[in-house]
């Protein structure tokens, strides 16, 4: 190949990558184009553009699995009716990523493969227990999205492999929510991003938690699942006391750094606060108690809506 | 590689380096310099253009990916033979431009927002234009201008 090619199928892309070891995959390009210009990625590396691959962009139901194509744009994810209703956390994370222009370009797969510690798509997919499909020279393998990123900007993808789709199930009586804290209300990376998912035994205020997951973004080298929640929550509704224990567990699961978006101590605190809040919204959605639509941008109810002031 | 695109209604066949950005092709090859060269990191929105009905930052748009696309830049936003459309007029009457550097990107992004049927509501417009930075106006007059057109176009 020359410097650039645009395969039409996954198998063609995999064959090209196998034959050109230095080649890099480009999707939306919102990270890679900058990295190449600044020399953080090799500007001479040949590009394999996966956005022309048939079907790689589809979002559809495959039986009871929601199938999200790797090159679906973040904007398509945020506006997909199935995602909004059945995987609310993912829609909520998508709609706060970058700007409209960036979301029109950036892809779901690109966000996961770039593997920023603040990757907006990772926590919601982790709480939904999503599975990624990876295609390589030896065929397809499936992997839990929770184990996909291995560190800042590193993933389990071996050379010559591409991410093709992400799948998740949305059982009855389940609900999810994503909240984040940022310094600016838009065009900012998360200081802390928190996704929660709950499965209940039915509807109504007294619906007991059967399963629950919380994932944290931007507070560790990769997004992390908070361990031990089942023991804290299973068998009862999430009372104030139980939510307090969730906060403590979330704060304890952080390994944050201090930077311009917050000190380590502040991040640890905010992760706890948002974990309890996101979990109670997820429970309300699972139990059919939620009529509030998607969470407001940046979780600040009044700041944007009432005055338009910069929060 | 040679790409065939439509730019502001005109068919264009152009030899390009496919890994070049749309911004550099527009400005340096097609000499459409209304689209501004700003941050080059996707943060400022000054380079916003419309590609197949979606606003994108042309500084990050690899040109090899858009062969066949229909592109509208600030030069084509008013439509053929017109100086300005209602949105551009509103920017003038509301005093929504000062130095003018952000204005082409702001107008293009706002135009697509209006075409997408943004709610005539200050908060929704602010959110929709969050990717367009202005260092002069303080945004209020820009939001007022877009809001006035959102309301006028509903009638
Ligand atoms: S120049 Fe493209 S976003 Fe600033
Ligand atoms: S008018 Fe000067 S940057 Fe907006």
Chain B positions touching A37 (Cβ under 8 A) are 40
Select the more confidently predicted residue: A280 or A303.
A280
Question: Pick from A30, A51, A75: which is nearest to B65 by CB?
Answer: A51
Place of tokens 């990270």: A31
The list of chain B residues with pLDDT below 50 reads none
pLDDT higher than 90, residue A310? no
Q: What is the pLDDT of residues A58-86, one digit of tens each?
A: 999 988 899 999 999 999 999 999 999 99
- Name residues contacting ligand 2 (CB within 6 A): B 97-103, 134-137
Across the range A39-51, mean pLDDT stands at 96
**pLDDT score recorded for residue A292:** 80
Task: Indicate if the pLDDT at residue A307 is higher than 80.
Answer: no
What is each CA distance from A18 to A12, A124, A148, B97, in whole angstroms?
Answer: 10, 32, 21, 52
Using a 6 Å cutoff on CB, does residue B12 contact ligand 1?
A: no
Instruction: Give the gyration radius of chain B's Cα atoms.
Output: 15
Pairwise CB contact (< 8 Å): B56 & A30 = no
Q: How many CB atoms lie within 10 A of CB A82?
A: 14
| pLDDT (average), residues A18-44 | 96
Instruction: Name the E strands within A47-173.
Output: 47-49, 59-62, 65-69, 131-136, 139-144, 149-151, 154-155, 162-169
Nearest chain B residue to A44, by CA: B19
Alpha-carbon torsion, ordered A69, A117, A309, B146, to 10 deg: -30
CA-nearest of A293, A196, A186 to B139 is: A186
Q: Which atom belonging to ligand 2 lies closest to the Cα atom of B99?
A: 2
Cα–ligand 1 centroid distance for B39 (angstroms): 5
Interface test with chain A among B24, B62, B123, by most A beta carbons within 10 Å: B62
Cβ-defined contact of A30 to B59 (cutoff 8 Å): no
Which of B38, B45, B101, B129 best tests ligand 2's pocket when mutated (most atoms within 8 Å of CB)? Answer: B101
Compute the nearest-CA separation of A207 from chain B (Å). Answer: 35
Question: Is A104's pLDDT higher than 50?
Answer: yes
The nearest alpha carbon in chain A to B49 belongs to A101
d(CA A32, CA A40) in angstroms, rounded, equals 9
ipTM of the prediction: 0.97
Segment A227-285, tens digit of pLDDT: 999 999 999 999 999 999 999 999 999 998 888 888 889 999 999 999 999 999 999 99
Give the pLDDT of residue A62: 87
Q: Give the residue with greater pLDDT, A281 vs A310.
A: A281
What pLDDT score does A305 carry? 30
- Return the ∠ at Cα A220 (arms to A219 and A226), rounded to 5°: 80
- In order of their start, the domains of chain A are 1-54 (3.30.43.10), 174-310 (3.30.390.50)
Are the Cβ atoms of A49 and B64 closer than 8 angstroms? yes
pLDDT digits (tens, 9 = 90+) for A154-167: 999 999 999 999 99
Q: What is the mean pLDDT of residues A8-32?
A: 96
The mean predicted confidence, pLDDT, of chain A is 91
Is 60 exceeded by the pLDDT of residue A306? no
Using the beta-carbon criterion (under 8 Å), do B65 and A29 form an inter-chain contact?
yes
Closest partner residue to A37 (CB to CB) among B40, B128, B131 is B40
- What tens digit of pLDDT does each residue of B6-31 get? 999 999 999 999 999 999 999 999 99
Ligand 2: residue of B37, B94, B100 to mutate (most ligand atoms within 8 A of CB) is B100
Cβ of B49 closer than 6 Å to ligand 1, yes or no, is no
pLDDT given at position A297:
64
For the entire predicted model, the pTM comes to 0.94
CB-based burial, A138-170: b 16+ in 10 Å, e otherwise:
eeeeeeebbebbeeebebebeebbbbbbbbbeb
pLDDT at A169 over 70: yes
Q: Which two tokens stand for residue A123?
A: 């926590």
A47: nearest CB among B19, B40, B60: B19
Residues in B closer than 8 angstroms to A49, CB to CB, are: 62, 64-65
What would the 3-class secondary structure string for A137-171 be? CCEEEEEEHHHCEEECCEECCCCCCEEEEEEEECC
Q: List, as one string, the DSSP characters of B70-129.
A: EEE-GGGTT-TT-S--HHHHHHHHTT--SS-SSHHHHHHHHHHHHHTT--S-HHHHHHHT
- In order of start, what are the domains of chain B with their CATH numbers? 2-76 (3.10.20.30), 86-154 (1.10.150.120)
Closest-CA residue of B relative to A310 is B126
Share of chain A above pLDDT 70, in %: 95
Report the atom number in ligand 1 closest to the C-alpha of B57. Answer: 2
A309 pLDDT higher than 60: no
Q: Strand A24-26 vs strand A4-5: parallel, antiparallel, or unpaired?
A: unpaired
B19/A4 touch (CB, cutoff 8 Å), yes or no? yes
Is residue B46 within 8 A of residue B57, CB to CB? The reply is no
State the maximum Cα–Cα separation within chain B, in Å, rounded to a whole number.
Answer: 46
What integer pLDDT is reported at residue B111 of this predicted model?
98
| pLDDT score at A303 | 32
In short, whether B43's Cβ falls inside 6 Å of ligand 1 is: yes
Helix, strand, coil percentages (3-state) for chain B, rounded to 5, are: 35, 15, 45
Integer CA distances (angstroms), A218 to A68, A311, B6, B136, in order? 23, 20, 41, 32
Question: Mind telling me how many Å the CA of A288 is from chain B's nearest CA?
Answer: 27
Residues of B in contact with A4 (CB under 8 A): 1, 17-19, 64
pLDDT higher than threshold 70 for residue A300: no
Does residue B18 belong to the interface with chain A, where contact is any CB pair within 8 Å? Answer: yes
Residue A296's pLDDT is what?
A: 67
């Amino acid at each position: 190949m020359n410097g650039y090619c645009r395969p039409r199928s996954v198998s063609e892309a995999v064959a090209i990558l196998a034959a050109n070891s230095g080649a890099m995959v480009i999707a939306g390009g919102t990270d890679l184009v900058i990295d190449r210009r600044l020399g953080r990625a090799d500007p001479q590396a040949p590009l394999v553009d996966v956005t022309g691959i048939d079907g790689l962009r589809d979002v559809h139901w495959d039986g009871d699995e929601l199938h999200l194509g790797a090159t679906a744009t973040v904007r398509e994810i945020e506006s997909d009716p199935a995602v909004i209703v059945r995987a609310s956390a993912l829609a909520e994370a998508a709609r706060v990523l970058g700007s409209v222009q960036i979301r029109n370009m950036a892809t779901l797969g690109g966000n996961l493969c770039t593997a920023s510690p603040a990757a907006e798509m990772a926590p919601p997919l982790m709480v939904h227990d999503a599975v990624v499909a990876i295609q390589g020279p030896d065929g397809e393998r499936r992997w839990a999205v929770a184990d996909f990123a291995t560190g800042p900007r590193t993933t389990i993808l071996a050379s010559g492999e591409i991410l093709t789709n992400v799948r998740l199930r949305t059982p009855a009586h389940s609900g999810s929510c994503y909240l984040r804290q940022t310094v600016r209300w838009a065009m900012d990376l998360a200081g802390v991003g928190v996704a929660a998912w709950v499965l209940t035994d039915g509807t109504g205020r007294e619906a007991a938690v059967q399963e629950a997951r919380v994932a944290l973004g931007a507070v560790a080298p990769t997004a992390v699942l908070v361990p031990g929640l089942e023991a804290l929550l299973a068998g009862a509704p999430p009372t104030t006391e139980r939510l307090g224990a969730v906060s403590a567990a979330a704060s304890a699961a952080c390994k944050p750094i201090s930077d311009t978006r917050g000190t380590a101590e502040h991040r640890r605190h905010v992760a706890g606060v948002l974990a309890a809040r996101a979990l109670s919204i997820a429970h309300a959605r699972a139990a059919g108690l939620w009529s509030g639509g998607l969470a407001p941008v940046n979780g600040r109810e009044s700041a944007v809506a009432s005055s338009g002031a910069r929060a | 590689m040679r790409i065939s695109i439509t730019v502001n209604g005109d068919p264009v066949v152009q030899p390009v380096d496919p890994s070049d950005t749309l911004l550099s092709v527009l400005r340096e090859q097609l000499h459409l310099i209304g689209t501004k060269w700003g941050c080059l990191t996707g943060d400022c929105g000054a380079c916003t253009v419309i590609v197949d009905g979606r606003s994108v930052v042309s500084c990050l748009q690899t040109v090899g990916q858009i062969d066949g696309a229909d592109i509208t830049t600030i030069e084509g936003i008013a439509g053929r033979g017109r100086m300005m459309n209602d949105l551009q007029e509103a920017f003038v009457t509301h005093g929504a431009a000062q130095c003018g550097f952000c204005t082409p990107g702001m107008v293009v992004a706002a135009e697509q927002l209006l075409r997408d049927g943004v709610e005539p509501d200050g908060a929704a417009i602010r959110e929709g234009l969050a990717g367009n930075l202005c260092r002069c106006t303080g945004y209020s007059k820009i939001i007022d201008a877009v809001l006035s057109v959102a309301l006028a176009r509903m009638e």
